[in-house]
Structure 1
Amino acid sequence: MADGQGEPIIRPSSEDHPLYEPICEACRTVHDPEIPVNIFDLGLVYSIVIDDSGAVEIDMTLTAPGCPVAGEMPGWVANAVESVPGVESAKVELVWDPPWGMDMLSDEARLELGFI
């Protein structure tokens, strides 16, 4: 999805919602099988939107469109998030815009990968 200027639109996350941090922690339990870092710290999770009923929508990407687990990763994430008490459902959408890049790594991921 893009705005009228051709810029990708990333929905703002529900950072003030009480389930936001537990959902982030659940995302940290899912690891990219090719890189020994969790998907959250890799910067693969672009947005986490939580409604009042506990329904969660996550927009995420992969390190490469041809990732061998592209078909499985959204299910892994949905299962992890749905295990959080208070979450009623989780829908995970793969998006490719903006493309993932190394600049999206958290400091924790950079440290774990030996970049700092």
Structure 2
Amino acid sequence: MSAAPCSPAAFPYEGPEELRQPINEALSRVVDPEVAMNIVDVGLVYGVAVHDTAVHVRMTMTSAACPVIDLIVEDAEHELDKVIPSQLKIRTELVWEPPWTPARMSANAKRFMGW
């Protein structure tokens, strides 16, 4: 499992530069238990936008039938809660378009999978 933070380009980010790395690291601590890798390396995070009142995270799953959707979303919100200012609310949006494909995986994840 890759626990190292991914590059800033792993997912689109909009917001204060000082929150980019803590948010990236927080999401990199969230593991998809079905593949034993973090959700950033798997490519499940589609984007993060920080606005005046909220952190909006767009993410997907490898399948709409994923049995651990609630666990992954809860873990992501828990990890983000540790690093974002308390006045910001966390808004997690599950999206299915574009559909996830293995092409979204990081080079580390592909190596881990033997690809």
Tell which deviates more after alignment, 27-36 or 106-115: 106-115
SS of the residue 2:90 aligns to: strand
Residue 109 of structure 1: aligned partner: 109
Counterpart Cα distance in 2 of 1:71 and 1:36: 16
Structure 2 spans left out of the alignment, 5+ residues: 1-11
Counterpart Cα distance in 1 of 2:50 and 2:66: 27
TM-score norm. by structure 2 comes to 0.80
CA RMSD of aligned residues (A): 1.7
Using the TM superposition, give the Cα deviation of residue 114 of structure 1 relative to its aligned residue in structure 2, in angstroms.
2.0
- Residues 50-101 of structure 1: per-residue CA shift (max 9 Å, x gap): 1145x21100000110000122321211111111053632111111000000
Residue 56 of structure 1: aligned partner: 55
Counterpart Cα distance in 1 of 2:33 and 2:67: 9
Tell which deviates more after alignment, 18-27 or 78-87: 78-87
Checking the alignment, whether the CA contact within 8 Å between 2:15 and 2:51 is kept in structure 1 is no
SS of the residue 1:76 aligns to: helix
Counterpart amino acid of 1:29?
Answer: R
Residue 81 of structure 2: aligned partner: 82
Using the TM superposition, give the Cα deviation of residue 14 of structure 1 relative to its aligned residue in structure 2, in angstroms.
1.1
Checking the alignment, whether the CA contact within 8 Å between 1:75 and 1:92 is kept in structure 2 is no
Counterpart amino acid of 2:57?
Answer: I
Using the TM superposition, give the Cα deviation of residue 36 of structure 1 relative to its aligned residue in structure 2, in angstroms.
1.4
Answering whether residue 42 of structure 2 is matched by residue 46 of structure 1, we say: no
Q: Count the aligned residue pairs.
A: 103
SS of the residue 1:72 aligns to: helix
- Residues 9-60 of structure 1: per-residue CA shift (max 9 Å, x gap): xxx521663201210110011111110110011110001001145x211000
Structure 1 spans left out of the alignment, 5+ residues: 1-11
Point out the structure with the larger strand share.
2
Counterpart amino acid of 2:39?
Answer: I
Give percent identity, aligned residues only: 36
